[in-house]
Structure 1
């Protein structure tokens, strides 16, 4: 049970754009325009999802972790963005005009270039501790952070994060990018791949994947786990014609011992294995099998309930992503937009409901975790239109404030104020 508690606390404390160390840059010269990035983080299992255009949004492709936060993206008009973690303390900034959801997601869906994007972004206070590089196929790019907007000067712009020690950067990644781009007038995929190779990371915070985006042609070259010999090439317009879908990025690459070893040592590996089994053996039969295994309470299943909780949450994230044409689960991140409940039904919600119901009825020595599960079971019933059950379980989740996570109390009380 300690395992499930630790993982869930990690989930509850997650923040928007909680990316770690990354190296990102854009470059426009000789009529060519590229953006490239190394995405460095501790959590493998990267997702990629394709979002065809709708009457309200431009088509796009997004990259992110299992939580379905957008770490980087490009739309059908060649507008690109990518986040790098930063150390801005939002509590020290007077931010009064906050966007109700994920601002950059709406920028991606409604803007064709940097100029249009800035017109929207300037209407709000940028409420992320990270810094984002925004670039377009016309060669424009800017860096955006809570303190303002920095326009590109010259042919390239770099967005990288290194800790500052005694006024000096603790790593040379930004310097290497600047040196390479300044010393050459070359503009091609191999040149940018070489820069990514020189700035990739290994060890506990490795480069999970790398991208080189040809913004004019709408082509993306993707590399997995700092292996620059194998590439997955995306022709965005062609891929969008195939329809909406979520994929595991690793499925597009040959087996890699290094990546497999890193993934198998991660706390989410069991959850990911169950999700993979659901694809091959069917969702219902797989869930029924693991619920039965959980009931046996065997020593080898000590972490199974943790994995099942993660599976249920992942199914809700998948469901919400599809329902919003690629968007992330606003409720999970306590965005005001997340309380504007939209009722709908789909198979992923029903599967998640089965798991949450099982876990809510199972004895649990951790009252905070139990109340969190009550909250999730209440939520899953609410969006499917069962207000009676939703109200019952939301009331349970907040009945003893000292036994509830702060985020459960905040969300629970807000939802109860809205349920009729």
Structure 2
């Protein structure tokens, strides 16, 4: 069954908690912003949308679903977002309702200051932000924190935002629970910021986690983005926003910008091995279950999120119709590990559906239904398969 990614990837699914961290530094009138993007997949991209009429050109960063996880426009406005513990937010009656993707694109295309962003967002119903915070920073060093029920301007010289709600009553306690955030805070206590990209990257290095897939260092006054891949701070690539926007609409897979021998590229290739697409998951399974008892393995299966991860990776491969056989292998492996998981059999059925192997699709949708008789998606697909088979038979 297809994973439903509502809003940003960090707006939350399940699996292990994946967060992000952002450090804003203003020194002698110059502002630099660092961001760690933490996620399971190394399939990260940077893409460029040049100005249209009076709108600003923008560089976006994110993953292959092209949902902006961060951005910088040519006016020096930067954006990012963070998963946070869920809090209820009442609907804001009388305000405009817009998809978050449209909101981000409009803001990045039209505004240069956080004051402008605040004025615009004050007209929008932001009640969908129940488990996330958005942050905008402009050239002056001013920043805007956006929660579902709050728009808060700030102007501290140095500020770190991560996976907490800034206006929550328990914010100080929440911060202390984030060890990576506290590492950044403690680093600032013992190291004097000097306003350089190198210092900013040092802070992000302190706050990276094992699943930090990429790091951006935005130089808002210079108009550059320094990229690091997979928490490898020994290799970086600098992007000149103005020069890239002159090339028109285009994109780069981040891994393609780095040396083949770099840690991030090695991980990227292992994760995306077309000859052995399930190999990455098999390695995780073998490592985590080696030497464990049956009871320990069952506990790992129920708490690790491996089923979710398998489903997510399978759908990444299935985005490309040419890679559907790879998705079949991944979902097959996952159903062998989780033979009682109706969702995984539904996904395997969908993979066979896309491969036009209707016989195998019927078998796996049927298995999904036997495990979950209320799976309406499987019922709908079985009806469609019957129609396709009958249609093909009539043509013959």
> In which range does the TM-score fall when normalised by the shorter chain?
0.5 to 0.7
Q: In the TM superposition, what are the counterparts of 1:137-286 in structure 2 within 5 Å?
A: 137-161=139-163, 167=173, 169-181=176-188, 183-202=191-210, 206-256=211-261, 258-260=263-265, 262-263=267-268, 266=271, 270=274
CA-to-partner distance for each residue in 1:9-39, whole Å, 9 max, x for gaps? 3x43222112231110212121111111111
CA distance in structure 1 between the partners assigned to 2:234 and 2:177 by the alignment: 29
CA contact (8 A) 1:46 1:63 kept: yes
TM-score, normalising length: structure 2: 0.65
CA contact (8 A) 2:255 2:265 kept: no
Displacement of 1:312 in angstroms is 4.1
CA distance in structure 1 between the partners assigned to 2:54 and 2:120 by the alignment: 16
Residue 90 of structure 2 is matched in structure 1 by 93
CA distance in structure 1 between the partners assigned to 2:253 and 2:7 by the alignment: 21
CA contact (8 A) 1:38 1:207 kept: yes
Residue 12, structure 1, aligned to residue 17, structure 2? no
CA contact (8 A) 2:38 2:209 kept: yes
CA contact (8 A) 2:23 2:204 kept: no
CA-to-partner distance for each residue in 1:279-338, whole Å, 9 max, x for gaps? xxxxxxxxxxxxxxxxxxxxxxxxx99676321499xxxxxxxxxxxxxxxxxxxxxxxx
CA distance in structure 1 between the partners assigned to 2:229 and 2:21 by the alignment: 15
CA distance in structure 1 between the partners assigned to 2:59 and 2:214 by the alignment: 15
Name the CA shift for 1:55/1:195 in 2 (closer, same or farther; >3 Å): same
Residue 346 of structure 2 is matched in structure 1 by none
Q: In the TM superposition, what are the counterparts of 1:354-393 in structure 2 within 5 Å?
A: 359=355, 362-363=358-359, 364-365=361-362, 366-367=364-365
2:319 aligned counterpart, secondary structure: helix
CA-to-partner distance for each residue in 1:189-214, whole Å, 9 max, x for gaps? 11111111111112xxx211111111
Residue 311 of structure 1 is matched in structure 2 by 320
1:112 aligned counterpart, secondary structure: coil
CA distance in structure 1 between the partners assigned to 2:82 and 2:38 by the alignment: 9
CA distance in structure 2 between the partners assigned to 1:233 and 1:195 by the alignment: 18
CA contact (8 A) 1:367 1:403 kept: no
CA contact (8 A) 1:309 1:356 kept: no
Name the CA shift for 1:407/1:118 in 2 (closer, same or farther; >3 Å): farther
| Aligned mate of 1:44, from 25, 42, 53 | 42
Displacement of 1:271 in angstroms is 10
CA contact (8 A) 2:98 2:124 kept: no
Displacement of 1:120 in angstroms is 0.9
Residue 58 of structure 1 is matched in structure 2 by 56
Residue 112 of structure 1 is matched in structure 2 by 112
CA contact (8 A) 1:21 1:162 kept: no
1:193 aligned counterpart, secondary structure: helix
CA contact (8 A) 2:232 2:263 kept: no
| Aligned mate of 2:377, from 401, 404, 416 | 404
CA contact (8 A) 1:131 1:159 kept: no
1:161 aligned counterpart, secondary structure: coil
CA distance in structure 2 between the partners assigned to 1:367 and 1:112 by the alignment: 51
The gaps in structure 1 that reach 5 residues or longer are: 1-8, 274-303, 315-354, 371-400, 409-420
CA distance in structure 1 between the partners assigned to 2:201 and 2:120 by the alignment: 33
| Aligned mate of 2:81, from 80, 83, 91 | 83
When the two chains are superposed, the root-mean-square deviation of aligned CA atoms in Å is: 3.7
CA-to-partner distance for each residue in 1:204-236, whole Å, 9 max, x for gaps? xx2111111110111111111111121110110
CA contact (8 A) 1:25 1:156 kept: yes
Displacement of 1:100 in angstroms is 2.3
CA distance in structure 1 between the partners assigned to 2:135 and 2:380 by the alignment: 30
Name the CA shift for 1:237/1:88 in 2 (closer, same or farther; >3 Å): same
Displacement of 1:93 in angstroms is 2.7
CA distance in structure 1 between the partners assigned to 2:180 and 2:46 by the alignment: 26
Residue 393 of structure 2 is matched in structure 1 by none
Most deviating of 54-63 and 212-221:
54-63
2:68 aligned counterpart, secondary structure: coil
Q: In the TM superposition, what are the counterparts of 1:330-341 in structure 2 within 5 Å?
A: none
TM-score, normalising length: structure 1: 0.61
Residue 336 of structure 2 is matched in structure 1 by none
Name the CA shift for 1:223/1:185 in 2 (closer, same or farther; >3 Å): closer
Name the CA shift for 1:153/1:241 in 2 (closer, same or farther; >3 Å): closer
* Count of paired positions: 296
CA-to-partner distance for each residue in 1:128-167, whole Å, 9 max, x for gaps? 3211210011221121111312222421222112699994
